[in-house]
Amino acid sequence: MFKEFQTDITTIDQNVRDIIQKNYKNIEELLTTPNPTYQNFVKEIEEMEDRLELEFTQISHLNSVNNSEETQKIYADLLPVITEYSTKMSQDKRLFDVYRQIKDQESANLDLEQNKVLDDALLSFRLSGIDLDEEKKSRLAEINLRLSDLSNQFSQNLLNATNAFELIVTDEADVQGIPESDLVSAKCEKGWRFTLQMPSYIAYMTYGPNRELREKLYKAYVTRAPQNSEIIDEILRLKNEKAKILGFESYADLSLATKMAQSKEQVIEFLQELLRKSKPQAKREFADLEAFAKTKIASWDQAYYAQKLRKERFDLNEEVYRPYFEKSSVVKGLFAFLNDTFGIRFEPVKISLWYPTATAYDLYENDEVIARIYLDLEARESKRGGAWMHNWQSHHKDKENKTILASAFVVCNFPPSSENNPSLLRHDDVVTLFHEMGHAIHHLLSKTHESFVSGVNGVEWDAVEFPSQFLEEFAYEHSVLKTFAKHYQTGEVISDIMIQRLKDAKNFQSAMAMLRQLEFALFDFKLHSHLYQGDEVQSLLDQIREETSVRKPPTYNKFQNGFAHIFAGGYAAGYYSYKWAEVLSSDAFIELIENNFDPKLTKAYKEQILYKGGSQSMSELFMAFLGREPKVDNLLKISGIMQ
């Protein structure tokens, strides 16, 4: 029913190479098909691609969650092979001609999903340079190969730099006020060890009383991987060249060809509108913080004083909350909420996985298994930072009309558990888990029959965050928290007062947080709208900070060298997508609130958004869900930004 996850990367490596060679042979045979149709041609290619993706995903996943010299080498060696294969497929004029022929001849007899598969494929062919001469095609192939290698280098440099730094604190006075659970995790032979891994870094930056040590830690974090600056220059040059070869003015224009947003001007105006409406409140928030601190606040002070002000204003002590958010209890509570809301039951599966703390669950709907999810939630040095969902199998029907079920990974970096200490989460971690699970159920609950538009496949990049941001709003809801927020030692359920404080504090300094995201989004989009090199990259960031910052960061802050979303992920010229999709999620959630969480609305969301995957544009699906266009101001409203 589900593919068994393999951990022998040497075997996986060989399997990937074998599948690619077999696919090349199968393509040649397919191209001799006398009367190619959707069923005997497109479905065959779909299955070939699925087999390859199933195998390769295992290596890319292991390289992210169990990184070692061996995984690094095999993954790096395999990337050019995969990239070459993808480029050859996407630039094969014979394939393009057959797809176009099938579209012309069969379109009227195909269903919505099948036509979307063909439309997406034809656009992808064109964006891969199918109409170019051989010289330009060859150059495009070289660029794609080099870009995949550079992205991997960028990510590996960042991981290596993150793992290379440690701050040993020996004076007990310098850890006063840090939560006990964080101190237990940091304890070492010489005192306390703090690193650039997220749980550890956040702990000292938020609670560490020694200002000099906070600055030392901050400086180490924002100056990581300086060698990435050269990689950034080359990535930008190649992406700009790629866009020009394909007939676009810039890489930003190329990026928008597969997104909801229609033009660069629309994206910039969208971001600028949010900036105009958020900055006055952000300035007030920062002035308020400095007044509380009674000092000028530097970058390494902000989280420290913000925590103190938040605690004073809302009586919110993270350490008091964390015993109520024990990892296993949170996971069970999230599963129970999804069962109540969407009728999805989660049952554990006992199988061997890549790490002892990784787990697997089968999803049941109407007592039938419909999907599988793998969770890997605790931080470790062999795992890259951050949190993500990665799809593995996609729900679809194969060429024999057999239903193939979906599967996905959810990966986070929560405080690690030990024999004596459970993993106790911050509420922010709970929100993160809800967010990633929103992505997961978007993929896993899909009912589409075509793999290429199933789940998150085929969804516009600036809409893909909608279901994740929608679900995270429930992490603040009273009825949801009451189901799982129980003290791990006493069993005491979180009190109404504690929940209300969380809700009251939800939008604490939300305008400053909005400006931070707008800084990232504007930097990314403008960076890819023209060619910037060397010092111009920093100059652009400085200019944007003039507009978006209420406090200037130090000149040594080289944030761009760690901006993995756009240089090692898929968000180049697309980071704005977080806010674009948040318009959809905020509007949908407010609609639910204003209708007292009407079950008819959650049913409509499940059927029109989750079930449909990428089978239609999200603008069409949203219209089917609520019967109207989304309202931008609801994003500001839900963020507590007053107009």
- Over residues 148-171, the pLDDT tens digits come to 999 999 999 999 999 999 999 999
d(CA 227, CA 208): 29
Asked if the domains 247-314+507-643 and 323-497 are classified in one and the same CATH topology, the answer is: yes
Each residue of 496-526: b (16+ CB within 10 Å) or e?
Answer: eebbebbeebbebbbbbbbbebbbbbbbbbb
Decide if pLDDT at 147 tops 90: yes
pLDDT at residue number 420: 85
pLDDT at residue number 570: 87
pLDDT at residue number 643: 63
Closest CA to 202 of 224, 178, 180, 225: 178
Q: pLDDT (tens digit, 9 = 90+) per residue, 376-401?
A: 999 998 998 889 999 999 999 999 99
Q: Which of 108-112, 179-183, 526-530, 602-606 has the lowest average pLDDT?
A: 179-183
pLDDT at residue number 315: 86
In sequence order, the β-bridge partners of residue 363 are 346, 371
pLDDT at residue number 535: 96
Decide if pLDDT at 318 tops 90: no
pLDDT at residue number 419: 85
Q: At a CB cut-off of 8 Å and minimum separation 6, what does 237 contact? A: 531, 533
User: Which of the two residues, 450 and 419, has the higher pLDDT score?
Assistant: 450
**Span 566-571, average pLDDT:** 92
Decide if pLDDT at 317 tops 90: no
Q: Is 436 in the active site? A: yes
Decide if pLDDT at 585 tops 90: yes
Q: pLDDT (tens digit, 9 = 90+) per residue, 593-630?
A: 899 989 999 999 999 999 999 999 999 999 999 999 99
> Which CATH number, 3.40.50.920, 1.10.10.10, 3.40.50.300, 1.10.1370.10, labels domain 247-314+507-643?
1.10.1370.10
For residue 111, how far is the Cα from the chain centroid?
Answer: 31
Between strands 345-349 and 406-414, the pairing is unpaired
Q: What is the pTM of this model?
A: 0.86
Domain residue extents for the chain: 9-90+92-131, 166-222, 247-314+507-643, 323-497
d(CA 115, CA 127): 18
> End-to-end CA distance of the chain, in Å?
53
Decide if pLDDT at 42 tops 90: yes
pLDDT at residue number 632: 87
Q: pLDDT (tens digit, 9 = 90+) per residue, 460-497?
A: 989 999 999 999 999 999 999 999 999 999 999 999 99
Q: What percent of the chain has pLDDT over 90?
A: 94
Q: Which CATH code is given to the segment(s) 9-90+92-131? A: 1.20.1050.40
**Span 529-555, average pLDDT:** 96
> Which CATH number, 1.10.1370.40, 2.60.120.280, 1.10.3470.10, 1.10.1200.10, labels domain 323-497?
1.10.1370.40
Q: Of these residues, 46, 113, 436, 465, which one is catalytic?
A: 436
pLDDT at residue number 36: 96
Contact 458, 116 (CB under 8 A): yes
pLDDT at residue number 199: 87
